[in-house]
Structure 1
Amino acid sequence: MFKNTRMLAEAGIMVGLALALWYFNAGQLPQGGSISLQMLPLLVFALRWGAGPGIVVGMAYGFLHSLQDMFVLHPLQYLLDYPIAFGLIGLAGLVKNLRVNRVVSILLAIAILVSGVIIFHYTMVSTAEVKTQITQLEQQLLVASPDEKPELEEELQDLKSKAQFFPVGGYVVLASSVIAFLAICYGSWKRTYATPVELGALLGGAGRFLSHFLSGYVFFSQYAPEGMNPWVYSLVVNFLVVAPSTLLALVIILIIWRPLEKAANVNSD
């Protein structure tokens, strides 16, 4: 009974804290979304209480967060971008009682690093294609009629914005994969506690990313520049939001987890 009461109390505190932390964000990114520490309380709760409670609390937060920052094109898109996306952060709780071999952790870290390099490469290739489209569009503008120019100018402005945005996204993907690699290696070799929190945080972040990624591909692929694979577009746009938020939370969790665990054990005695 005490544990259930305590869990409910922590759930309320963590949801409230996540709602508050969202306001301290890095501002809206050009393609939507923002970088903040809103994931931190949700990850901590899931790591402490497990995947089931973590998913429920994440979904509750997703519904409430939608009242803070709602953008809806379709009911399914709403579910994917809010309750499901934040509910899947609770997957971090799957590692609560997990014991992971160091070799497995290192192999996972290498896979993440290699994936980041591959995504970075495709992002740079796509950026080059966008720049080619910009050149072609500028040439079309020179011979366009007055009626055609407004539409072409709007398209050109959009492409220029994406030409600036995607290289940044590519470097964020690369940097995030390197940081994730280092965090997993550090966690697996230097960890002084049983729970592999670094894997849990990345798993929760991956769950949120997957939901946003599917939403982006299904409902926002029309915003991808001509010639760019919508999968790549959705991947880069959503990775740029989720990866920094996840890694910020991960770094803080690696710092606070040991004292947090000690405090929780003392209070439970």
Structure 2
Amino acid sequence: MSEEMFQSLLESGMAKAVIALVILGILMTIFFITDKTRENSSTKALTVSAIAIALTFILNQITLFRMPQGGSVTPFAMLIIVLVGYFFGTRQGILAGVAFGLLDLLVNPYVISPIQLLVDYPLAFGALGLGGLMSKYDSVIPAFLLGVSGRFMCSFLSGAIFFGMYAPEGFNGFTWSLVYNGAYMGTEAVITVLLLCIPAVKHAISRIKNTLNANGTVDLTKA
């Protein structure tokens, strides 16, 4: 199947309906895999995840700087998905990231092959949920950096393998992908870390985490 045919297929009503159903299925999975022995934990995980996905989508539409071949610096969009993993664990964070990646695919598809689709959308954004591995830390910064590193690796490999032909003179596919993806993701990461260093922001995230964990509702130290 050619690139044009594959793109047209993804933009069809049937494909969009299937993607929407998959997103709904992922949200239901978040509900069912959360520890039900803790009062209201499943409902909280589902609610927070749905809000995070919606907020990430909104922030992702606000670009501080857009790269010419895709990718942009947004106002803290990646942080929101990382927070799901930080609050509820790695599995929930990955699933929320995958759901957002599919939502982004639903609205703004740019696909040249099935493998590139998987790497650039569900895998790249799902990798943000790896930040849940760092949920035991008092600061969210380690979780954020791990999640962003996971997304960067996916985008780097996609850029090197599928878009290396766009590398300017003096670069090969791998070095250009490193520079290109590092430029916008690194910029957003630095801005976000600076935000997270503000005491009021640190305390607000800590309060939210403690509130979600109140009365044994959610065990935030478990992935």
TM-score calculated relative to the size of structure 1: 0.60
Structure 1 residue aligned with 2:177? 234
Aligned residues: 173
**66-75 vs 229-238, which moves further:** 66-75
Structure 2 residue aligned with 1:46? 85
Letter in 2 for 1:92: G
Higher relative contact order at CA 8 Å, sep ≥6: structure 1 or structure 2?
1
Structure 1 residue aligned with 2:25? none
Whether contact under 8 Å (1:31, 1:237) holds in the other structure is no
- Please show how residues 48-67 of structure 1 align to structure 2 within 5 Å: 48-67=87-106
CA distance in 1, matches of 2:115, 2:173: 18
CA distance in 2, matches of 1:263, 1:218: 40
| CA displacement 1:24-80 (0-9 Å, x = unmatched) | 112421232111122121011111112111111100000001223221111111111
Structure 1 residue aligned with 2:126? 87
Structure 2 residue aligned with 1:244? 187
Structure 1 residue aligned with 2:16? none
CA distance in 2, matches of 1:94, 1:263: 18
Give the superposition deviation at 1:243: 1.3
Whether contact under 8 Å (2:87, 2:209) holds in the other structure is no
Q: 1:216 aligns with which of 151, 159, 170?
A: 159
Structure 2 residue aligned with 1:253? 196
Change over 3 Å in CA distance of 1:22–1:11 after alignment to 2: same
Structure 1 residue aligned with 2:56? 18
| CA displacement 1:176-229 (0-9 Å, x = unmatched) | xxxxxxxxxxxxxxxxxx434222111111100000000001101111124422
Structure 2: state its 5+ residue gaps.
1-35, 216-223
CA distance in 2, matches of 1:252, 1:226: 36
Find out whether 1:201 has 2:161 as its counterpart. no
**208-217 vs 235-244, which moves further:** 235-244
Change over 3 Å in CA distance of 1:7–1:257 after alignment to 2: farther
Structure 1: state its 5+ residue gaps.
98-193
Letter in 1 for 2:64: A
TM-score calculated relative to the size of structure 2: 0.72
Structure 2 residue aligned with 1:191? none
Letter in 1 for 2:87: R
Letter in 2 for 1:265: N
Give the superposition deviation at 1:266: 4.1
Q: Tell which structure's C-alpha radius of gyration is larger.
A: 1
CA distance in 1, matches of 2:211, 2:94: 26
* Between structures 1 and 2, the one with greater helix share: 1
CA distance in 1, matches of 2:113, 2:89: 31
